[in-house]
């Protein structure tokens, strides 16, 4: 009897071959993405890596590319956060791709973003060198957009943790402002400890100096208060040379915190040994610059020790200091300004009851 021939099983593709094919496809895609951009010049650098001004060879558009070393063991948290962001006052990610480094198998993550020509740091320096006071109108235009960015970030649970003039981009032609550099940013989770040694020293909230590990987005509010004050006076408000000296600089103006205030900043802190110093009135701090009373009132409600007593971003937007922006005729002669009232649902989500106070009666959002 003839034996029935055995039916051959279909050959399975080699997992190794499939992986290699995928790798080749990914490498080709990475190469195509990288070749699309011509790097023009370095516009920023630091421990994080480099930021380049580049040109998209397909569209001719100028972009900023942040190139950072990618540790293969971890996902890049900045990439995870920035790809979620979508707000007029926050930098937007266009695309991201990996490139090979010069050394062996080093890999670099490239984040492609909008190119904004100036930083707030440069603008402040310009007015200081020109011996001119920062225009009150720009104080409002830039301060307002900063709080819009914070309101949005608070709405999606993100704390920036490194707000400073160098991380705030401005377009001098349109006065559009965007918060950038989310390398220190984190989604805060209730009950989850965070590092206290975060944020650039001059803009570091006092609860961080006191070692708090359970903090809130109020640390960003403190930083914005420092930045707004710096716009007025042309230099950092609290120029400490160390963490301790930073606290001394704060105490010189706010006075020595009470034990109760220290507990509100960090319940675990036990050392209260600081000489008793009275607060220095904000009117005297800024006397040389003659700001209006509403500016002083705003600063006094941002720069307070207990984090929960600081204005929240939407409350700051509703402050009378920004009432001029809500006037129908507000503007700068012969210049275009951004839309101040295209609020997102995330932006208004934390305190929706404040929305009527920040929407001017004349404004109708274009659909």
**197's tokens:** 């040694």
Q: Is 23 a catalytic residue?
A: no
Tokens coding 255: 């006075």
Tell me which H or E stretch contains 308. none
Count other Cβ atoms within 10 Å, centred on residue 250: 23
Are 106 and 100 spatial neighbours (Cβ–Cβ below 8 Å)? yes
- The burial of 341, by beta-carbon neighbours within 10 Å (0-12 exposed, 13-18 middle, 19 or more buried), is given as middle
Question: What separation in angstroms does the CA of 230 have from each of 35, 124, 146, 149, 361?
Answer: 41, 8, 14, 19, 32
Residue 75 annotated in ligand binding: no
CA–chain centroid gap for 322, Å, is 21
List Cβ<8 Å contacts ≥24 apart for 164-167. Answer: 164/121, 164/200, 164/202, 164/203, 164/223, 164/227, 165/119, 165/120, 165/121, 165/124, 165/227, 165/230, 166/119, 166/120, 166/121, 167/119
On whether the CB atoms of residues 66 and 110 are closer than 8 A, the answer is yes
Do residues 161 and 224 make contact, with C-beta atoms less than 8 angstroms apart?
A: no
List 23, 71, 162, 324, catalytic entry: 162
Q: Give catalytic residue positions.
A: 162
User: Residues annotated as binding site?
Assistant: 67
Q: Which residues are annotated as a binding site for ATP?
A: 67
């Amino acid at each position: 009897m003839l034996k029935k021939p055995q039916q051959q099983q279909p050959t399975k593709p080699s997992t190794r071959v499939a992986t290699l094919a995928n790798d080749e496809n990914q490498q080709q895609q990475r190469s195509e993405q990288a070749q699309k951009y011509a790097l023009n010049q370095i516009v920023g650098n630091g421990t994080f890596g480099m930021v380049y001004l580049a040109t998209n060879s397909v569209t001719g558009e100028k972009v900023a590319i942040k190139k950072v070393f990618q540790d293969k063991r971890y996902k890049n948290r900045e990439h995870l956060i920035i790809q979620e962001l979508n707000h007029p006052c926050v930098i937007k990610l266009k695309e991201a791709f990996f490139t090979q480094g010069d050394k062996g198998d080093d890999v670099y993550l490239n984040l492609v973003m909008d190119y904004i020509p100036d930083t707030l740091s440069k603008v402040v320096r310009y007015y200081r060198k020109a011996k001119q006071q920062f225009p009150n109108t720009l104080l409002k235009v830039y301060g307002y957009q900063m709080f819009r960015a914070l309101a949005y970030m608070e709405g999606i649970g993100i704390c920036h943790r490194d707000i400073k003039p160098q991380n705030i981009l401005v377009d001098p032609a349109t006065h559009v402002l965007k918060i950038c550099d989310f390398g220190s940013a984190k989604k805060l989770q209730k009950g989850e400890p965070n590092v206290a040694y975060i944020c650039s020293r001059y803009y570091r909230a006092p609860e961080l100096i006191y070692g708090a590990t359970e903090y809130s987005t109020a640390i960003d509010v403190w930083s914005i208060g420092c930045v707004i004050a710096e716009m007025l006076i042309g230099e950092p408000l609290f120029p400490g040379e160390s963490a301790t000296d930073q606290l001394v600089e704060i105490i010189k103006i706010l006075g020595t915190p009470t034990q109760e205030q220290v507990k509100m900043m960090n319940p675990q802190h036990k050392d209260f040994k600081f000489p008793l110093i009275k607060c220095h009135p904000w009117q005297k701090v800024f006397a040389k610059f003659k700001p209006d009373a509403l500016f002083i009132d705003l600063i006094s409600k941002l720069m307070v020790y207990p984090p929960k007593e600081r204005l929240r971003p939407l409350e700051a937007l509703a402050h009378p200091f920004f009432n001029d922006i809500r006037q129908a005729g507000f503007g700068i002669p012969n210049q275009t300004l951004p839309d101040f009232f295209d609020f997102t649902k995330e932006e208004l989500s934390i305190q929706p009851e404040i929305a009527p106070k920040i929407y001017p009666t004349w404004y109708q959002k274009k659909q």
